[in-house]
Amino acid sequence: MEAILEEASDKSESADKPLVKIDNLFAGYDESLILKDVSIVVPDNSVVALLGRNGVGKTTLLNTIVGLVPTTSGSIEFGSHRIEKMPVDKRARLGIGYVPQGRDIFPGLTVWENLNVSLRAGNVGDDNRLDEVFELFPVLKEMLKRKGGVLSGGQQQQLSIARALLLNPKLLILDEPTEGIQPSIIDQIEDAIYAIKKKHKVSIILVEQYIDFAKNASDAFYILERGSVVEQGSIGRLSDELTARYLMV
């Protein structure tokens, strides 16, 4: 009976292969193993929230997915590729877009130059993508000549997300996009996440401390504690009790 069930689940898996499948991942830094036996699935066209208090390993997990932190053991599948040993740039070219914590824009370049770096790197040669990005974040179009460094925190975050989107990713990874941002812009970023998911058919991994935002924007969640997954499920399962136990400071 068990064998039959297993076979059935194998079949349904191959018919509906998730975009990202992380199995039994161990990873960390020279002297300290941070991630212990992490398994995560990101289905196609879904938003998965990665939650947990400060220091539990959220950013380390994102950095391991993009290749900035080496995998000690375990596997990371992206579509039909095994990527855990691939260099960072190759993973990016497969379609992994990363908006790191604290944003990564070029403060000394104008907004237009910042966008143009991605446009060229993305090799899309397609003004449509630029139009789509301006539709998501109209403020950027008004600020093309401003230096990135003089934008507000929220505008820089929008620019950072825009830069990642211009690379035409299949997976967009956002590390605390609302950190230090005023509420009105938080709403805009939330709307942008809906729109990105709907129009661009990308999946998103969202690390977020702001639980209401994560609940609104996500389909599923994983909670990390001390480098391991302690709870997971569809977003409806993220109860006040779990929030109090694992996420409240």
Ligand X SMILES: Nc1ncnc2c1ncn2[C@@H]1O[C@H](COP(=O)(O)OP(=O)(O)O)[C@@H](O)[C@H]1O
Binding site for Mg ion (CB under 5 A): 58-59, 101
Please state, in angstroms and rounded to a whole number, the distance separating the CA atoms of residues 20 and 74: 14
In the complex, least distance from residue 64 CB atom to ligand X, rounded to whole angstroms: 9
32: contact with ligand X by CB under 6 A: yes
Judged by CB under 6 A, the residue of 46, 60, 64, 160 near ligand X is 60
Tokens for 23, please give them: 């199995």
129: contact with ligand X by CB under 6 A: no
Number of residues that bind ligand X (CB under 6 A): 11
177: contact with ligand X by CB under 6 A: no
Q: Which does 54 bind (CB under 5 to 8 A by kind): Mg ion, ligand X, none?
A: ligand X
| Those residues with Cβ within 8 angstroms of residue 1's Cβ, 6 or more apart along the chain or in another chain | none
Tokens for 128, please give them: 């449509």
In the complex, least distance from residue 247 CB atom to Mg ion, rounded to whole angstroms: 14
59: contact with ligand X by CB under 6 A: yes
Which amino acid is residue 192, in one-letter code? A
Q: Which does 55 bind (CB under 5 to 8 A by kind): ligand X, Mg ion, none?
A: ligand X
Q: Please give the residue ranges that form the binding site for ligand X (CB under 6 A).
A: 29, 32, 34, 52, 54-60
